[in-house]
Homo-oligomer: A and B are copies of this chain.
Amino acid sequence: MIFKLTSFIRKSIMIIDGKKIRDEILEELKDNFEAIGGVILAVVWVGDDPATAKFVEYKKKVAEKIGVKLNLFEYPDTISESDLEQELKRLAIDSDINGIIVQLPLPAQINSEKIIALIPPNKDIDALGVETVMMSPVTAAIAEILKRHKINLLKNKFVVVGKGKLVGRPTAVWLAGEGADVTILDSKTEDITTCLKQADVIISGIGKPGFIVPEMVKNGAVLIDAGTSEQSGKLAGDIDSACAEKALLFTPVPGGIGPIVLAKLFQNLWKLSIQTK
């Protein structure tokens, strides 16, 4: 009896394959970028953090594959704020450059918001600036999954966990703008379990490994994990993988949202490139 129930539940879970979705999007982008040619992405990297090195390497590989030239601008972590500002100003007005990414975090002596504000909106593919016209790549990745699986924005109860600038905030702002029933909270909210239990869709981006456990989730929920942290050298998400058993849809970490975010970053580059080319 128990076995039967479990196998029934198992059958109904959809585990999102983020790499497959990423590759589909990149395939289309490749044709687009090759058709217009000469799109250049500037990546600003201060310091020599090995985790950042990996991200940069990954972007480089993808860029190469889809016909985008990635120009890497490397600076020592001792660079002064004003020197970095000068560099950003130069990239901002360089008409050959279609997109600018500043790898975060920046060293302590530099005010990140000041630097990010120097990326002009029409080159801000990370959608980090105040005047951005683009959707944040993480939010766009989440929207892509919801759309592919026909999750109705107006008929479901959304809970967004986390209020960070990369995940929670832009995603909550997007959902609110779309007219969704959405509750926004963070790991410090008191009655978090009560809130989560009511959610049809949970989107998490707090960066606390395994914070959301099966007891907090209702059966048949859509679980989207956009929180990534390192746990004993391995990437871990906010949502305990045991929750998958209760889920209608589940995005694993790694391999769920992450790869799609990268594709959305390049999709933003594409959208801005055709505006200026």
Partner of A184, one of B169, B180, B186, B191: B180
Cβ of A42 within 8 Å of any chain B Cβ, yes or no, is no
| Residues A148-192 near B (CB distance < 8 A) | 163, 169, 172-173, 175-177, 179-186, 189, 191
Closest to A159 in B: B183
Residues of B within 8 A of A219 (CB): none
Cβ of A229 within 8 Å of any chain B Cβ, yes or no, is no
For chain A, what secondary structure do more than half of its interface residues adopt (helix, strand, loop), or is it mixed? mixed
A163 x B186 contact (CB < 8 A):
no
Closest to A160 in B: B176
Shortest CB distance A165–B (Å): 9
Residues of B within 8 A of A182 (CB): 172, 176, 183-184
B186 x A181 contact (CB < 8 A):
yes
Closest to A172 in B: B176
Residues of B within 8 A of A175 (CB): 176
Partner of A183, one of B131, B133, B179, B183: B183
Cβ of A241 within 8 Å of any chain B Cβ, yes or no, is no
A46 to B191, alpha carbons, bound, how many Å? 49
Cβ of A198 within 8 Å of any chain B Cβ, yes or no, is yes
Closest to A191 in B: B198
Residues of B within 8 A of A172 (CB): 176, 182
A175, A176, A182 interface centre (most CB from chain B within 10 Å): A176
A182 to B186, alpha carbons, bound, how many Å? 11
A169 x B163 contact (CB < 8 A):
no
A163 x B179 contact (CB < 8 A):
yes
Closest to A157 in B: B189
Residues of B within 8 A of A176 (CB): 169, 172-173, 175-176, 182, 184
The 9 closest A-B pairs by CB, nearest first: A172-B176, A183-B183, A163-B179, A173-B176, A176-B176, A181-B185, A173-B173, A182-B184, A173-B177
Given A172-B182, A176-B176, A182-B183; 11 other pairs, CB 8 A cutoff: A131-B133, A169-B176, A173-B173, A175-B176, A176-B182, A176-B184, A180-B184, A181-B183, A181-B184, A181-B189, A191-B198
Q: Which residues of A contact B (CB under 8 A)?
A: 131, 133, 163, 169, 172-173, 175-177, 179-186, 189, 191, 198
Q: Can you report 25 residue pairs joining A to B where beta carbons are below 8 Å apart?
A: A131-B133, A163-B179, A169-B176, A169-B177, A169-B179, A172-B176, A172-B182, A173-B173, A173-B176, A173-B177, A175-B176, A176-B176, A176-B182, A176-B184, A180-B184, A181-B183, A181-B184, A181-B185, A181-B186, A181-B189, A182-B183, A182-B184, A183-B183, A183-B184, A191-B198
